[in-house]
Amino acid sequence: MKIRVGFGFDVHKLVEGRELWLGGIRIDHVMGLLGHSDADVLIHAICDAMLGAANMRDIGYHFPDTSADTLNIDSKILLRKTNGLISAKGYRIGNIDATVCAERPKINPHVPAMKACLADILQTDEDNISIKATTTEKLGFTGREEGISAYATVLIEKG
């Protein structure tokens, strides 16, 4: 069996007038993330990690923010397509370890729903997906609630 590991990172600005989507679910909050798509930082970080592990460049290469095809797209679609890309090379998800960094809203109450959503899209067991939450103790852009970031490490397997 061949295994590979990839790392992904994403950040988006918080703004009024947008819905907040994280891990494929909508979270009630006074602000949402600004982006060409629905700006789901968690899914974007996971996609980058998957693509990196498979040596397939990054999410912007496959789904550019200059394309009308990806304007306002649901990031769950991008994750499904990314899974298809790595599957075409013979890989499947081994496990995902991800962290969302936000002051508000609190992420932990939403983790079970995120895991269920991601596991369904990736056709893997929820036990293969770890989602953690942290803050920056009110430091930096995250601490000032100007944006949310996410980090992901993904192990993929072949054979």
Q: Residue range 48-52: average pLDDT?
A: 98
Q: 110-142 pLDDT, tens per residue?
A: 999 999 999 999 999 999 999 999 999 999 999
- Count structural domains, the chain: 1
Whole-angstrom distance, CA of residue 136 vs CA of residue 153: 20
Residue 142 parent element (H or E)? helix 140-143
**Which residues fall in the annotated binding site?**
10-12, 36-37, 44, 58-60, 134-137, 141, 144
Q: 16-47 pLDDT, tens per residue?
A: 999 999 999 999 999 999 999 999 999 999 99
Crossing angle of helices 41-53/111-122, nearest 10°? Answer: 40
In the chain, the percentage of residues whose pLDDT exceeds 90 is 99
Nearest to 121 by CA among 75, 79, 70: 79
CATH code (residue 53): 3.30.1330.50
Q: Answer whether 49's CB lies under 8 Å from 97's CB.
A: no
Whole-angstrom distance, CA of residue 128 vs CA of residue 59: 22
**Which residues fall in the annotated binding site for a divalent metal cation?**
10, 12, 44
Whole-angstrom distance, CA of residue 136 vs CA of residue 150: 12
Whole-angstrom distance, CA of residue 73 vs CA of residue 69: 8
Residue 98 domain boundaries = 2-158
- Assess whether pLDDT exceeds 90 at residue 159: no
